[in-house]
Amino acid sequence: MTNRIPDEVIDRIRHSVDIVDVISDYVQLKKQGRNYFGLCPFHGESTPSFSVSPEKQIYHCFGCGAGGNSFSFLMELEGLSFVEAAQQLADKADIPFEHDVQPETSLNENKPTTRMVEAHELLKKFYHHLLVNTKEGQQAYDYLIERGFSRETIDEFEIGFSLDSWEFMTKFLTKRGFQLTEMEKAGLLVKRAKDGAFFDRFRGRVMFPIADLQGKTVAFSGRLIENIEGQPKYLNSPETAIFNKGKTIYNFHRAKKHIRKNQQVLLFEGFADVISAVKAECPNAIATMGTALTDEQAKIIRRNVESVVICYDSDHAGIEAAYKAANILTSVGCTVKVAVMPQGYDPDDYIKEQGPERFRNEVIDGSLTFMSFKMRYLRRGKNLQNEAERMKYIEDVLKEISQLTKAVEQEHYLRQLSQEFSISLDALQQQKNQISSLSGKKKDNDAWNRNNIARQPSFQTRLLPAYQNAERLLIAYMLKDKDVAIRIQELIQGNFNIEEHRALVMYIYAFYEEGYEPNLSLFMEKLVDGKLGRLASEIAMLSINEELSEQALHDYVQQVLIHPKLLKIKEKETEKQEAERQKDYLKAASIAMEIIQLKKALKS
Ligand SMILES: [Zn+2]
């Protein structure tokens, strides 16, 4: 690891940031005993096996083995270099940091994706400037104000305006040293087929910047001010190396802290709804990019919050989409509610016509549980006056009820059905039981997972051979206690049986020899080998007693040292059996003698 930053600065950063804060920006953590648990951001899971230790300032995932400190967390998750991670942490801790991560002069040395983001950031600022400060932007500005946007909202969402020109952006980017072929790949320019010339993709549009999860601008959506024949009302950036619609969540970077605070997220279908919702004092609003919710987006949401209110259009397509999104979110462990508006409204219209207060109180606070929504959903297109259709409906609802995991919930909806259709509760109960037994009543793992953040990871009870456990425990003590490490160095030296343990203890000896005191986070930083880092974090998470007793130390050391001898005896026993099989009794007897000697030596 090239570490051009002075050690004092790194030390200051390490002491100033808390790993729980760093990781909380990405993962919803719940305290459980001394550690925090959450859903691992490095592998898809619905059971939290990702743990963070504030004491040790490290994290470890018992599912995929990922582990490390604050620095390695950012490096792995965001693909940052060490210096970039240090920069980000320094910013978080308000520590002055003068190590140019991306010097302006070396534009061409940067990765293409870095340049693409840079171009988007520059254009975003320039578009905003055009909108709010120039004569060219006046018409677009007036249009927005007329549509209920305030100057504050325009600034907050960094809305801008692109000039009605074929070559404005092209010239702007050329002047700043960007390569046009690359900018075409970034979705900002279009290449004309007939002569290969480049021209601006966005012309004469109100520009809405779209950021990735970290808040970097990666795309735009441009809206026409007045309809033009043959031109789409909205024009979006195409998918590029930096813009993946299925992973992008509009407004996520701004909404994140509000989502955490409210323990709830409001999910919309498009960015216009989000802007309206934020204006209506719902800052925890996010949206997909005009496409159906993907599994990936659902997982990102679940990592941050459990409770989701889906707030889609109330037309046919919107209801279908809400139903699908609710199922996806439920499958990743979210608790879903669905906001319902009068037929034909979308959230944007509703807020404009009915006002923010009604939106918050009636639509959001009055949202339906997923089950109630399903009951409405299943009714659509059915004439419940018709007996056959009514029976079909009741059966469909019973099927859904039988999937509910809580008995109280089941009872609640059964009563509702019973009242509405004047059927006895008993009869409904019976029919529901029949359905459950027919469908083999799947054990609902999601529910188990949802309610079991507290579940202890199973690794601690993992069955390992005694010598291997002994080695792990010794390493755990060595990591937290210098004296133990020095004693182990005398007693065992490098003779650990597991190769990775051997490598790890060498690093531990070296660490203390350099004069450091126990410090897990610092130690992990010195480990160049990612695999060893994972192992170190896993072992450091073992729960061990405060003190290592003399007796325990002796026992563990014995188990480590004795293992090769036991192996030798086993080997000899196999040899002896082979000799017996070949009827070479003389040889067998001599091996038997050896075995006796070996066993004797074991006891001494
Ligand atoms: Zn993991």
Average pLDDT, 10 consecutive residues per value, the chain (604 residues):
69 92 91 90 82 93 88 86 88 78 47 91 96 95 93 96 93 94 95 91 96 92 89 92 93 90 92 94 93 91 91 92 95 92 90 94 94 91 86 92 88 91 87 78 41 40 76 94 93 91 92 91 83 89 86 92 90 92 91 91 76
Distance, in Å, from the CA atom of 118 to the CA atom of 96, rounded to the nearest integer, reads 23
**Residue 227 confidence (pLDDT):** 84
**Cα(587) to centroid(ligand 1), Å:** 53
Which residue ranges form the domains of the chain, and what is each CATH number? 7-92 (3.90.580.10), 107-236 (3.90.980.10), 252-375 (3.40.1360.10), 381-450 (no CATH), 463-604 (1.10.860.10)
**Cα(542) to centroid(ligand 1), Å:** 17
- Which H helix or E strand runs over 400? helix 387-403
**Cα(257) to centroid(ligand 1), Å:** 23
**Cα(67) to centroid(ligand 1), Å:** 9
**Cα(63) to centroid(ligand 1), Å:** 5
End-to-end CA distance of the chain: 46
**Residue 3 confidence (pLDDT):** 45
**Cα(455) to centroid(ligand 1), Å:** 16
**Cα(476) to centroid(ligand 1), Å:** 21
**Residue 304 confidence (pLDDT):** 86
**Cα(458) to centroid(ligand 1), Å:** 14
**Residue 109 confidence (pLDDT):** 52
**Cα(290) to centroid(ligand 1), Å:** 30
**Cα(39) to centroid(ligand 1), Å:** 8
Under DSSP, the state recorded for 516 is: P
Distance, in Å, from the CA atom of 457 to the CA atom of 479, rounded to the nearest integer, reads 21
pTM of the complete model beyond 0.85: no
**Cα(45) to centroid(ligand 1), Å:** 8
**Residue 448 confidence (pLDDT):** 37
**Cα(75) to centroid(ligand 1), Å:** 15
**Cα(37) to centroid(ligand 1), Å:** 12
**Residue 601 confidence (pLDDT):** 83
Cα-Cα-Cα-Cα torsion 485, 488, 490, 496, nearest 10 degrees, comes to: -120
Distance, in Å, from the CA atom of 407 to the CA atom of 432, rounded to the nearest integer, reads 12
Residue 595, classed as helix, strand or coil, is helix
**Cα(66) to centroid(ligand 1), Å:** 6
**Cα(29) to centroid(ligand 1), Å:** 14
Closest by CA to 140, choosing from 62, 226, 227, 30, is 226
**Residue 4 confidence (pLDDT):** 66
Q: The sheet that has 368-369: what strands, in order across it?
A: 285-287, 265-268, 307-310, 335-338, 368-369
**Cα(294) to centroid(ligand 1), Å:** 20
**Cα(44) to centroid(ligand 1), Å:** 7
**Residue 245 confidence (pLDDT):** 92
**Residue 204 confidence (pLDDT):** 94
**Residue 424 confidence (pLDDT):** 86
Q: Side-chain half-sphere of 147: how many Cα atoms within 13 Å?
A: 17
